[in-house]
Structure 1
Amino acid sequence: MILVTGATGHLGNAVVQHLLKTIPASQIAILARQKEKAIAFETLGVTVKLGDFDDTNALQAALSGIEQVVLISGTDPVHRLQQHKNVVDAAVAASVKRIIYTSIAMESLATSHNQFLMESHFKTEAYIEQSGLTYSFFKNNLYTDTIPLFAGDNPFAHGITLPTGSGKVAFAWRNDIAEAIAHHLLQPINSNQVFQITGNVAYNFEEIATMLSTLSGKQVTFTHVDATTYENMLQQVGVPTPLIPVLLGFTADISNHQHQAVATDLEKLLGRKPTEMAAALKTMYHL
C-alpha cells in the first residue's frame, strides 16, 4: 500500500493519477484534511485517510499498514519542519519500508536569499536520514509551471520584467516529476537514493521571452530591473504582501545561479526526455 500526502494539491494529485495507470486503486491511499476534498479519490477506489501533519494520532492511524509514503513537502513555511517530523515519526512507528520526500534542488543554502523558506527542506532530509527509514529524496528544481508567476499571465502585452539578469533555471515540468515519482514507487526498495530533478536545459528569462515571441508571433521583451524596482512593481499590481519577499528571494537566487545546474536523473526515471520548454509554454499560455 502506498500513501500520498498532499494529494488534493497539484503534485500529489498527479502522482496518484500516474499510479492509477499502473496499479489498482486498492493499493493507493491518500492523506486528506477534509473528506469533501477527497470525494473524487474515493470514487476512483482510492483509500482516503483523514488527518493532517499536525495531528500525530491521525498520522499514526493513517500510516498503519502502509509500505511506502510520499511526503509532499508542506506549504506552511513556519511550521512545516515539525509537520514533516511528525510524518517521519509516524512512518517509523508504522515500520514503513520507504519514504519519498520532495525537496529542493539548489546550489547552496548558505548563499540563498530564501534561506528561511528553504532550510526546512535540508533539515527534513537530515531528520529522515537519522530516522533509519529507507528513503528517496526528489530534490526538485523550480517547476516550469511557475513561469507565469514570474513572467506574468500576459507577457505578450507587457513583456517580462524581472531582476534575474542572465541567471538561468533548469525548470522541470510538474507532471513529469509526478510521473517520475510514480515510476520510482514501483521499483524495488533496496537502498537510499537522492535524485536531482531538473530539466535537460537551463533557460534565462530573456531566452524564455524569445521563445514566447517565436511561439506566439508577438514580440515579448525582457527587461532587467533592480530588486527595489521589482518590489515596487509587485506592490503596485497588488501581489499579496507575504508573497513579495518570497518572489524577491527566488529572483535573487535565479540571478545568482542557484537553480541553474542540469542533471539527467529525471530523464532516467521517466525513461524518456522531459517535456521541452516550448511544449510547456504552449500549454501554459494556450498557444
Structure 2
Amino acid sequence: MIAVTGATGQLGRLVIEALLKTVPASQIVAAARTPEKAADLAARGVQVRRADYNEPATLDAAFAGVKKLLLVSSSEIGKRGTQHRAAIDAARRAGVELIAYTSVLHADTSPLGLAGEHRETEAALRDSGVPFVVLRNGWYTENYTGSLAPALEHGAILGNSRDGRISSAARADYAEAAALVITRGPQAGQIYELAGDTAYTLTDLAAEVARQSGKAVVYRDLSEADYKAALIGVGLPEPVAALISDSGTGTVKGALFDDSHQLSAILGRPTTPLATVVAAALAR
C-alpha cells in the first residue's frame, strides 16, 4: 500500500494520477486534510483518508497498513518542520517501510530561506530510523507561468533574479518521477537532485512569452526590497512576498540551477521544455 500526503494539492494529485497507471487504485491511499476534495479519487477506487499534519491522531489512522509513504512537503511556511516531524513519527508508529520526501534542490547547501525547514525535515528522517529517499525538487516552471496575465497586460515580467539560471521542470515531471521512485526497487538512502534539462533566465522566459503571445513582454529586474514591495502591492502576504523575493536573490547565487539530469534519467525521457509549459499557460 502506497500513501500520498497532500493528495488534493497540485503535486499530490498528479502523483496519484501517475501511480494509477501502474498501481491498483485499492492499493493507493490519498491522504488529505479535507477528504471531500478527493471524492473523485474515491469514486475511482482510491482509499481516501483524512490526514492533517496538525492532528497527529489523523496521521496514525491515515498511515495504517501503509508500506510506502510519499511525504509531500506542507505549504505552511514556518510550520513545516513540526508538521513533517509529526508525519514521520506517525509513519514510524505505523510500521511504514519507506518514506519518500519532497525536499528542495541542493537542500544541504541551498542559500534559499525556504531550505531551512527542508534541512530540518531531512535531519528528522535520518533520526527516525525509518528507511527514506529524498526527492530534492527544483523549481516548478508553473511557478512563473501560472501568473502570466499581469505580464501580458503590463508588458513585463518582474523579478530580482538578474541573469540567474533556472533549471525548472513541469510539475508533472516531478510527480511522475516521485511515482516511479516509490514504486521501484530498493531506494533507501538515495538522494535525488531533480531539475529540468535546460536552464533559462527570466529574460529568456520573457522572450518566450513574447514570441508565443505576439505581445511585447520584457523582463524587468528589481532590487529584492522593491520586488518584495511589488508583490505585497498586488496582494501577497508579507511572509510569502519575502519568500519569493528571497528566492530571486538565491537564483542569482545559483540556487535554482542544476545540470545533473537526474530527473530525466528517472523519467527515461527529456523533461518538459519551457516552451511547452508556456504554451499550455497561454492556452488557458
* Common fold: TM-score over 0.5: yes
Which sits farther off after the overlay, 84-93 or 102-111? 102-111
Report the alpha carbon displacement of residue 190 of structure 1 after superposing the two structures with TM.
5.1
Counterpart for residue 72 of structure 1: 72
1:143-185 CA-partner distances (Å, limit 9, x unpaired): 1110146x74242332122221111111121111101111112
Counterpart for residue 205 of structure 2: 208
Counterpart for residue 46 of structure 1: 46
Instruction: Show structure 2 runs of 5+ residues with no match.
Output: none
Distance 1:28-1:111 versus aligned 2 partners, 3 A rule = closer
**Aligned equivalents of 2:89 and 2:107: distance in 1?**
29
Give the SS at the match of 1:101. Answer: strand
Q: Quick check: 1:107–1:259 contact (8 Å CA) kept in 2?
A: no
Counterpart for residue 138 of structure 2: 141
1:12-58 CA-partner distances (Å, limit 9, x unpaired): 01000111111210110111222321211110101111231122222
Counterpart for residue 153 of structure 1: 149
**Aligned equivalents of 2:173 and 2:85: distance in 1?**
27
Counterpart for residue 16 of structure 1: 16
Report the alpha carbon displacement of residue 197 of structure 1 after superposing the two structures with TM.
0.8
Report the alpha carbon displacement of residue 109 of structure 1 after superposing the two structures with TM.
4.8
**Aligned equivalents of 1:281 and 1:105: distance in 2?**
22
Report the alpha carbon displacement of residue 5 of structure 1 after superposing the two structures with TM.
0.3
Report the alpha carbon displacement of residue 108 of structure 1 after superposing the two structures with TM.
6.1
Which sits farther off after the overlay, 198-207 or 26-35? 26-35
Counterpart for residue 187 of structure 1: 184
Report the alpha carbon displacement of residue 110 of structure 1 after superposing the two structures with TM.
6.7
Which sits farther off after the overlay, 96-105 or 245-254? 245-254
Instruction: Show structure 1 runs of 5+ residues with no match.
Output: none
Q: Quick check: 2:101–2:134 contact (8 Å CA) kept in 1?
A: yes
Report the alpha carbon displacement of residue 216 of structure 1 after superposing the two structures with TM.
2.2
Q: Quick check: 1:97–1:189 contact (8 Å CA) kept in 2?
A: no
Q: Percent identity?
A: 31
**Amino acid paired to 2:45:** G
Q: Quick check: 2:132–2:187 contact (8 Å CA) kept in 1?
A: no
Counterpart for residue 166 of structure 2: 169
TM-score calculated relative to the size of structure 1: 0.92
How is 1:1-287 mapped onto 2 (pairs within 5 angstroms)?
1-106=1-106, 109=109, 111-112=111-112, 114=113, 117-148=114-145, 152-158=148-154, 159-189=156-186, 191-286=188-283
**Aligned equivalents of 1:241 and 1:136: distance in 2?**
33
Distance 1:82-1:235 versus aligned 2 partners, 3 A rule = closer
**Aligned equivalents of 1:230 and 1:80: distance in 2?**
25
Cα RMSD, aligned residues only: 1.9
Report the alpha carbon displacement of residue 284 of structure 1 after superposing the two structures with TM.
1.4
Report the alpha carbon displacement of residue 256 of structure 1 after superposing the two structures with TM.
2.3
Distance 1:260-1:61 versus aligned 2 partners, 3 A rule = same
**Amino acid paired to 2:41:** F
Q: Quick check: 1:97–1:133 contact (8 Å CA) kept in 2?
A: yes
TM-score calculated relative to the size of structure 2: 0.93
**Aligned equivalents of 1:81 and 1:4: distance in 2?**
18
Distance 1:234-1:59 versus aligned 2 partners, 3 A rule = closer
1:116-166 CA-partner distances (Å, limit 9, x unpaired): x321101111111121222111100111110146x7424233212222111
